[in-house]
Amino acid sequence: MLSFTNISLRRGPRLLFENFNLTIHPGQRVGLTGANGCGKSSLFDLILGRLQPDAGEFDQPSQWVLAHVAQETPAVDRSALDYVLDGDRELRLLQSDLEKAEQADDGTAQGTLHARIEAINGYTAPVRAAKLMHGLGFTAAQESQPVRTFSGGWRMRLNLAQALMCRSDLLLLDEPTNHLDLDTVLWLEEWLSTYPGTLLLISHDRELLDQVVSHIAHIENKTVSYYRGNYAAFERQRGEQLAQQQAAYQKQQREIAHIQHFVDRFRAKASKARQAQSRLKALQRMEQVASAHVTSPFYFTLPPPEKLPAALLRLRQVAMGYEQQAVLSHVNLDLAPGDRIGLLGPNGAGKSTFIKSLAGELPSQAGTVEEAPDLVIGYFAQHQVEQLRAQETPLQHLQVLAPSAPEKDLRNFLGGFNFQGEQALAPVGSFSGGEKARLALALLVYRRPNLLLLDEPTNHLDLEMRYALTSALQDFEGAMIIVSHDRHLLRSTADTLWLVANHTAIPFDGDLEDYQRWLQQRRGGTGENTHGNPTEFQHATVRKERRRQEAERRRLLQPLRKQLKEIEKTLEKLQAEKAVLDQQLATPDLYQDPQQKEQLKVLLMEQARLRNALLETEEKWLIATETLEAAEQGG
């Protein structure tokens, strides 16, 4: 088992962990979660021996074989298949020993080595490696292709295949889905579900965590908390803990305020001095309960577009592609405000081509494209993240879009994407991939588009930012087309699924589970029938009607959500005013000085007004919450 005992760990001057304890038993599948920068990757480096703890002890079985994904891929001439086979280190050692035995003409050693290779299924290893490569999207022709000819994203897939090829006891995966499409994520999920060893998985893909892991190790406040169950179970347990912690915190704060008020009033009176001193000591001894920081640092909305034409975009018999090479043809599409389309399709089928063509980056090769005069497109793709100006700050990027806007307003807007304080003024070149993606999204949102085109918007985003993005997209009033390997995002935001395959794009009569079955059929050699077979999709009409009803329900829920947000804002304002007033009323001079009587009367009347206003607003909040919950449940 993996044993962490009183571990403290620094990365440079920064303390990441302090005196945490954790035991991971063989066979457990552990999802490692926590905010970006909390120390997840550093924990992997500790296990790999790249870092040593500043205090405490880490132990793991010496005989365990450990596998992880290499971050660099050498630009070598060896074939991709050979490179993947290198993951089985024991096989490679035996093959090397066998080659030496053959050169020495040592028949006995050769026989022994052949038997050992047979025992570890070494002679079927090339088939196993080819299957891994196929699952990760490589074609048969690419198996013999030199490693140096692959792009960066495909080299990362080769590294992943190499790690999976290892017959490991412990597998460490750090964001393995970042460079994968939905098809490959689904395949990886199946593979990990049957992995027999101990798994540690860092991922911001909540559906992958839900399907694969048995435990969650959550990093927060320089320690690690261990939860049994998948990510959904962790969210429930942590939510209950935070609610209890917040209730205990509020109760203790009331008690502290009461004791402090008593001490402040009576410590100067001889008859009460001893009691005041006693209570002051009790206050000092009291173990402080930390406030539960449940609020995400990310909160933003997609402001309503300035104009919403009834028809945003119309395509008729459009062909899309590069130069003279058509990738998609005979594409027909009508887009109106409120349309939400999720694009599905095998890797390389043309999803990104589809998005780029709609964004105007690729001119159509045939057919007609009609755009509304007031069409404003918000396009997010990885290359736009890479085109951010490294020497400029987030604020400067935003000022290019709004040169006359007050700096305060721009910084408040950036704060919703967690670019606060000095980070709003820091050069973008020093940012992580997630921070750059957040900034690209912020710039997109600021333009108030009425059509969003999103190509893998969640790459490098952590769970909190993904949640904020999902919430914002749910309330968006314009149209949206999205490509994403994040199934939770697709389920939560897309009302219609389209399938990009067979050199065209058409509506898909099914859900994500149907699409997974379609992929399995396709891998099984049943062809690429876009619609699947009739038996598989016999309930397509029912599902289509269900999705239509869900889209209509989401449209009806929008005003309820907006009303609830307005009430919550009012509640926060009233609570802040009451906190200030309570602080004023806690001043001892107010009660002892006769000249302060009128002021005291005014403050008490204001306190009564605020109390009544809070009660009324809380009543409205309760009604609005119950109404929204009932509507969400279809009641």
Domain identity same for 399 and 439: yes
How far from chain centre, in Å, is Cα 435? 13
Residue 39: its pLDDT value, please? 86
363 assigned to some structural domain: yes
pTM here is: 0.69
> Would the pLDDT of 26 be above 90?
yes
* Cα-based angle 454, 459, 464 (whole degrees, multiple of 5): 100
> Would the pLDDT of 174 be above 80?
yes
Average pLDDT over residues 9-14: 83
> Would the pLDDT of 195 be above 50?
yes
Average pLDDT over residues 78-101: 91
Confidence of residue 267 (pLDDT cuts 50, 70, 90): low
Confidence of residue 105 (pLDDT cuts 50, 70, 90): confident
25 assigned to some structural domain: yes
**CB-CB neighbours of 572 under 10 Å:** 11
Confidence of residue 302 (pLDDT cuts 50, 70, 90): confident
Confidence of residue 357 (pLDDT cuts 50, 70, 90): very high
DSSP state, residue 305? P
Q: Which amino acid is at 352?
A: S
Q: Of residues 284 and 567, which shows the higher confidence score?
A: 567
144 assigned to some structural domain: yes
Domain identity same for 425 and 276: no
Domain identity same for 12 and 55: yes
> Would the pLDDT of 537 be above 50?
no
Domain identity same for 278 and 350: no
Residue 632: its pLDDT value, please? 64
Out of 215-229, 322-336, 467-481, pick the least confident: 467-481
> Would the pLDDT of 210 be above 60?
yes
Confidence of residue 458 (pLDDT cuts 50, 70, 90): confident
Measured distance CA(531)–CA(523) in Å, rounded: 15
> Would the pLDDT of 295 be above 70?
no
Average pLDDT over residues 592-600: 78
579 assigned to some structural domain: yes
Q: What is the mean pLDDT of the chain?
A: 83
Confidence of residue 333 (pLDDT cuts 50, 70, 90): very high
Domain identity same for 63 and 92: yes
Tell me the CATH number at 45: 3.40.50.300
Average pLDDT over residues 242-262: 71
Confidence of residue 68 (pLDDT cuts 50, 70, 90): very high
Residue 280: its pLDDT value, please? 65
397 assigned to some structural domain: yes
Average pLDDT over residues 294-302: 62
Domain count, the chain: 4
C-alpha dist (Å) from residue 14 to 17, 41, 52, 305, 485: 9, 14, 15, 43, 34
Q: Among 270, 285, 300, which residue terminates a domain?
A: 285
Residue 399: its pLDDT value, please? 92
DSSP result, 464-501: HHHHHHHHHHHT--SEEEEE-S-HHHHHHH-SEEEEEE
Domain identity same for 40 and 121: yes
What domain range is 269 assigned to? 236-285
> Would the pLDDT of 499 be above 90?
yes
Q: Which amino acid is at 196?
A: P
> Would the pLDDT of 217 be above 90?
yes
> Would the pLDDT of 437 be above 80?
yes
517 assigned to some structural domain: no
Average pLDDT over residues 346-364: 90
Residue 257: its pLDDT value, please? 73
**What percent of the chain stands above pLDDT 70?**
86
Alpha helices per DSSP H over 17-58: 40-48
> Would the pLDDT of 264 be above 60?
yes
Tell me the CATH number at 603: 1.10.287
CB 162 within 8 A of CB 70: yes
Handedness of CA 62, 67, 68, 72 (dihedral sign): positive
Domain identity same for 357 and 261: no
> Would the pLDDT of 407 be above 60?
yes
Domain identity same for 123 and 31: yes
Residue 612: its pLDDT value, please? 85
Average pLDDT over residues 205-221: 91
Quote helix, strand, coil % in the chain, to nearest 5.
Answer: 50, 20, 30
**CB-CB neighbours of 595 under 10 Å:** 7
Residue 381: its pLDDT value, please? 87
Q: Among 173, 201, 235, which residue terminates a domain?
A: 235
Residue 172: its pLDDT value, please? 95
Q: Of residues 269 and 34, which shows the higher confidence score?
A: 34
Q: Among 219, 235, 251, which residue terminates a domain?
A: 235
Measured distance CA(554)–CA(546) in Å, rounded: 12
Confidence of residue 527 (pLDDT cuts 50, 70, 90): very low
Domain identity same for 492 and 467: yes
430 assigned to some structural domain: yes
> Would the pLDDT of 402 be above 50?
yes
Average pLDDT over residues 57-77: 88
> Would the pLDDT of 606 be above 80?
yes
Confidence of residue 292 (pLDDT cuts 50, 70, 90): very low
564 assigned to some structural domain: yes
Domain identity same for 17 and 126: yes
CB 460 within 8 A of CB 437: yes
Domain identity same for 330 and 369: yes
Domain identity same for 589 and 463: no
* Bridge partners (DSSP) listed for residue 202: 32, 174
The tens digit of pLDDT for each residue in 136-171 reads: 989 889 999 999 998 888 899 999 999 999 999 999
> Would the pLDDT of 109 be above 70?
yes
Three-state SS annotation for 574-631? HHHHHHHHHHHHCCCHHHHCHHHHHHHHHHHHHHHHHHHHHHHHHHHHHHHHHHHHHH
CB 200 within 8 A of CB 32: yes
